[in-house]
Structure 1
Amino acid sequence: MDEKLSQVDPKLLELLVCPLTRGRLTFDRDSNELVSEKARLAYPIRDGIPIMLVSEARKIED
């Protein structure tokens, strides 16, 4: 995977919140997703752009 696509600018990460809960997101480098633990959702990052739509998020199963 291209190095540029697998990283999120830390400043951007500070600004982004989960659109459902308004909670904090963490970057999962292995899956290239932004994770909302509170909502149990993982938002994909495509071509370096976080897709912050609940309809595009993956549900996190236990």
Structure 2
Amino acid sequence: MSPDDELLRILVCPIDKGPLTLLTPEDALYNPRLRRRYPIVDGIPQLLPSSGEPVSEEEHQRFSERVGTP
């Protein structure tokens, strides 16, 4: 999956239904509002609520700086 992939425009967080941000090279989708990371396995986003992993404050800051979110 790449940042300009059409699929990325329609994927949403399974919990708050908001947009997700692609994290590279982690190969994951990130919801900065809930601070949850959803893995991409073999090119398939794992978007079940139970597959979301909470991220630490340190990771959130690092991801936010990289993608330019608050």
Quickly name the TM-score band, shorter chain normalised.
Answer: 0.7 to 0.9
RMSD of aligned alpha carbons: 1.2
Residue number in structure 2 paired with 1:4: none
Q: TM-score under structure 2 normalisation?
A: 0.73
Alignment of 1:46-57 (within 5 A): 46-57=41-52
TM-score between the two structures when normalised by the length of structure 1: 0.81
- Structure number with the higher helix fraction is 2
- Which portions of structure 1, spanning 4 or more consecutive aligned residues, are displaced by more than 3 angstroms? none
Unaligned 5+ residue runs, structure 1? 1-6
| Overall identity of the aligned pairs, in % | 38
Q: How many angstroms apart in 1 are the aligned matches of 2:32 and 2:49?
A: 14
Q: Select 1:14's aligned residue among 2, 6, 9.
A: 9
**Residue-pair matches, total:** 56
Q: CA separation in 2, counterparts of 1:35 and 1:11?
A: 17
> Counterpart of 1:34 in 2: which secondary structure?
strand
Q: Give 5+ residue unaligned stretches, structure 2.
A: 58-70
